[in-house]
Amino acid sequence: MSNPSCNVLLIDSTGRGHAIADLFQRSDPSVRVFYGPGNPSVAGERIWTVPDISLSDPGSAVRFCQAHAIDFVFVSHIDALSTGYVDFLKTNGIPTIGPDRAAARLESSKAFTKSLLQRYNVKTARFAVFDRPEPAKCYIRGLGYDVVVKADGLCEGNGAYVCSDQASALQAVDSIMLARAHKDAGNHIVIEERLFGVEISIFALFDGKEFLLFPAALDYKRSDDGNKGVNCDGMGSLSPHPLADKALYREIQTEVLEPLRAAILGEGLKYTGFIYIGAMLCHDGIKVIEINVRFGDSEAEAVLPKVQSNFVRLCEGVLQGTLGSMTLETDDKCYCNVVAAQGPTMRLDEVGREIRYPGWPHGDFEVGCPISGLEAVDRRNSRLFLANVRRDAENSLVTAGGRVLHVTGFGANYAQAVHHAYANIEKIRFKGMSYRSDIGLIYGSVDAMRQRREIPSLPWTWQMPRGALS
């Protein structure tokens, strides 16, 4: 781009959005990032929050672009993507990165994605789709294996029920389709074979023709220690993934990315930007579990800090369709992200009665709890990403949602990364603060690393070979 100073509009409002904004300004000293609707607590030398931009009104973004000479827009929030935000911006002549509404169905409809994977021979679990509960239950009763029951639509990360027996699977059907736990997202359900193995989060940037692979991550999706509790958006992540060696990346390229690229092109989907592929490393190879049409969260906070390439230049490659000739530079550090969530609390109402909140992700949660200790976080060995944080009337930072913030520790190995993450998150306080205490713990032990022979020596720096995906 010709302007010496590049103006980017980032559409997001999450911890992931903060991590992308940070990547923009950290990797390019000339870029200015306008973050909308953003987060008023996110402050950076070249990051400006734009609260007037709405995730549901792309017209607000068009008006801002026209008034502020924006070079391009990067849309990374599923609420905007699934309703055609990108379509509207492009119709108004604004250079935009992100999948259009039709392509966003890869995330907004699990049934659509499973069928597409099947048609293009992308390995995935056996599945069936239902729009009524009784046929779904009959199908479950006839199976000889455990299943995962999923609401078809968007459920903020908690619409998948991993079932260990038939009774829990039948109950999941009732919860989704009869109790309407996820409202209209549960009009259809996907019942798929439960896979066993090690999960892996795969990320790539796509220019409509070619993928540029990013470091993989290990996401901790369960709410409680020991991988217990409920499935949620994620309570923390490690990057690079402990099993991600060069052989695995080659397998990802040939078994996942190449057929997925053929599927996107074969279906005529207009897709640019990040793609997330949740997969399982099974005894018989890698199998795709789900696809999201934006970067994962909590993985973004562990993966994106590794990136050393100029992200503005990579985005220019996306817009110009030249990403296949570019490489990704990463550092050799390990990163551990731990999520601080709004856990259970109790307060008294105006007449002195107790009101109890079970906390996220188990139910309702309190908001407006003052946050302290952020200034004590050591930026020499950790990064802080803010998600559901706002400023109150006195301009103090308070909680504003379920996942409040992310603390990412880093170091030369997992042990250092894990230590720095927990040493810093322990400095932060707010009422009902909750976080898992075991993120990356097994990989932070030298003895455990030596015992797990399948884990390659780490860290190592990986660069995608020039043109490897062409």
By the 10 Å C-beta count (0-12 exposed, 13-18 middle, 19+ buried), 351 is classed as: exposed
Q: What is the pLDDT of residue 19?
A: 97
Q: What is the pLDDT of residue 270?
A: 97
Which residues lie across from 348 on neighbouring strands?
Answer: 354
| pLDDT at residue 70 tops 50 | yes
Cα dist. 380→214, 321, 424 in Å? 24, 37, 11
pLDDT band at 445 (very low <50, low <70, confident <90, very high): low
Tokens read off for 404: 């409040």
Contacts of 352 (CB under 8 A, 6+ apart): none
Choose between 447 and 446: higher pLDDT. Answer: 446
Dmax over CA atoms of the chain, in Å, equals 68
pLDDT tens for 32-44 read 999 999 998 887 7
pLDDT tens for 358-400 read 999 999 999 999 999 999 999 999 999 999 999 999 999 999 9
Q: Pairing mode, if any, of strands 127-130 and 222-224?
A: unpaired
By the 10 Å C-beta count (0-12 exposed, 13-18 middle, 19+ buried), 279 is classed as: buried
Give the integer Cα–Cα distance in Å for 338 and 298.
8
Choose between 452 and 76: higher pLDDT. Answer: 76
Q: Shortest CA distance to 291 belongs to which of 156, 86, 108? A: 108
pLDDT tens for 3-23 read 447 999 999 999 999 999 999
Cα dist. 11→3, 42, 77, 276 in Å? 21, 14, 7, 17
Residue % of the chain over a pLDDT of 70: 93
pLDDT tens for 278-288 read 999 999 999 99
* 163: helix, strand or coil: coil
Tokens read off for 365: 């949660």
H/E element holding 67? helix 58-68
